[in-house]
Amino acid sequence: MVNFRTMENLEQKIAEILERNVRVEADKAWELSWMRRLLITFLTYGIALLFLWLIENERFWLNAGVPALGYLLSTLSLPWIKQWWIRRYNSSHQ
């Protein structure tokens, strides 16, 4: 005989897992999005710009680009490095 409470509980758990998967996929998409990368790049530039202006750095508008560009370049290299690391990790754990 089938216990309907157990079936309802299983259906509820499956629905919760599916909802969680949607949230996780959206979070992953945000982490990889160009919108996020550019937003952080511009925020980094703005904060560095303000700091360098406050300390009266010459050409603060140009020097503030260094950390912003560094961040953007690091995001471009990370997918390649991640794939390399995963291949290395998988080959050493088989």
**pLDDT tens, residue by residue, 30-87:** 988 999 999 999 999 999 999 999 999 999 999 999 999 999 998 888 888 889 999 9
Report the half-sphere exposure of 79 (CA within 13 A, side-chain side). Answer: 7
Q: Where are the alpha helices (DSSP H) in the chain?
A: 4-32, 34-54, 60-63, 65-92
Distance of alpha carbon 4 from alpha carbon 8, whole angstroms: 6
pLDDT at 82: 86
Query: Is the predicted pLDDT of residue 2 greater than 70, yes or no?
Result: no
Using only the alpha carbons of the chain, give its radius of gyration: 23
Distance of alpha carbon 26 from alpha carbon 20, whole angstroms: 10
Contacts of 94 (CB under 8 A, 6+ apart): none
